[in-house]
Amino acid sequence: MKHIWQSRSGRIGLVIVGTALLIVLVSLVWTPHDPSRVVPADRWLPISRDHWFGTDGAGKDLFSQVLVGARTTLFVVLASVAIAAVIGLVMGIFSALAPRWVGESTVYLIDVLIALPGLVLALVLVAALGGSLWTVSLAIGFGAGVVLARVVKSETHTVLTRDYIVAANASGSSTFRTIGRHIMPNIGPIVIVQLSIIAAFAVLAEAALSYLGLTPVSTPSWGRMLQGLQQSVTVHPWAIVFPGAAVVLATLGFNLLGDGLREAMDPTLRRRTATGVTGPGTTPPSESLPSELTVVRP
């Protein structure tokens, strides 16, 4: 935590993510107006002391809508990051530890799944299951999880070549014990950085999916606000700024937090490349990329 605070990106990221959490907590107990109450007399009110962000074409308070929208974003972020972590760790560690041909077929399957763009996968799942927040989170988490699996697999491979693994095996440590005591702690930092990037991706993906109208109509969300406000963007261009800025800030927050985490853990990362373990030419192209290169975007 202290190390994250020392990097500028980490500091800004922590502040933004912390504020977002605070907003969600506040929105649970208080919003200035009922975000879904239609007040025909109050259509397109400008920014005022009563309506901090003004109102939309139905007279609904935009500030309250942004506050409540943060809940949906946070829910999808937490759920999809958790799903991605489970899929990524299980598939990644399994394919690294399993017998050679099993592991290689798993990696092959992962590569095929990566070929389906995350948002397209989300569309397929929504088509099959119908759009609920869980479906959306499952889709985002699954798409990000297979990408994470690839990173986990190559990191685990690196760890497996270390002497302490040989020592653990020699002293009769069970597979699960080796995973828990030696593999997880060593791939942990990289996985955490990746999860923070996945969180940023989830913010964008949720916004995109709800903008496309694939989340439930009743769920307030920034993407859905933008979809509604777009219809009158020629007359009231200002309104889109607020939900748009909310998406940008949330994404930026998680991305910067990821940068901060990376910098905080830099000594290990730097040592890893310095010893040439991931040097050019020794690994296939997709694995020789720096870990930063696994950003996906919708």
Partner 1 sequence: MTLFVIRRLGLLVGALFLSSIVIFVLLHLLPGDVARVLGGTEASPERIEALRAELGLDRSFLEQYTDWIGGILHGDFGRSLLNNKSVLDELTSKLTVTAPLVLFSSALAAVVAVPLGFVAAARHRRVDGVALNVASQLGIAVPSFFVGLLLVVVVSVKWDLLPAQGFPTDGWDDPAEALRALALPVITLAISQGAVLFRFVRSAALDVIGQDYMRTARAKGLTRSQALVRHGLRNASVPIVSILGVQIASLIAGVLVIERVFQLPGVGQMLVTDVGTRDLGKVQGTVLLIAVIVLVIGFVVDIVHGLIDPRLRAVG
Contact residues: partner 1, CB under 8 A: 108-109, 111-120, 123-130, 200, 204, 207-208, 211-214, 223, 226, 230, 233-234, 237, 240, 244, 247-249, 251-252, 255-256, 280-281, 283-286, 288-290, 292-293, 295-298
The distance from CA 30 to its chain's CA centroid, rounded to whole angstroms, is 27
CB of 250 to partner 1, least distance (A): 8
Phi and psi of 232, rounded to 5°? -115, 30
Strand partners, 61: 55
What is the smallest separation between the CB atom of 265 and partner 1, expressed in angstroms?
A: 16
Minimum distance, C-beta of residue 25 to partner 1, in the bound complex (Å): 23
Tokens standing for residue 94: 């399994």
C-alpha torsion sign, points 229, 235, 241, 242: negative
The radius of gyration of the chain's CA atoms, rounded to the nearest angstrom, is: 22
Q: At 79, phi and psi to the nearest 5?
A: -65, -45
User: Minimum CB separation from partner 1 for residue 174, in Å?
Assistant: 33
Query: To the nearest whole angstrom, how small is the minimum distance from the Cβ of residue 55 to partner 1?
Result: 19
Q: Kindly state the DSSP code that residue 45 receives in the 8-state scheme.
A: -
CB closer to partner 1, 40 vs 285:
285
CB of 68 to partner 1, least distance (A): 19
Nearer to partner 1, 25 or 129 (CB): 129
Of 183 and 197, which has the nearer Cβ to partner 1?
197
**Any idea how long the chain is?**
298
Q: Which is nearer to partner 1, 123 or 160 (CB)?
A: 123
Q: Which is nearer to partner 1, 175 or 230 (CB)?
A: 230
Q: Which is nearer to partner 1, 178 or 255 (CB)?
A: 255
| Pick 145 or 183: Cβ nearer partner 1 | 145
Euclidean distance between CA atoms 273 and 283, whole angstroms? 13
Rounded CA gap, 198 and 152, in Å?
Answer: 14
> CB of residue 213 vs partner 1: minimum separation in angstroms?
7
Of 106, 111, 113, 112, whose CA–CA distance to 91 is shortest? 106
Q: How far apart are CA 257 and CA 9, in angstroms?
A: 7
Q: Give which of 143, 144, 153 is closest to 91, Cα–Cα.
A: 153
Tokens representing 76 are 């999808």
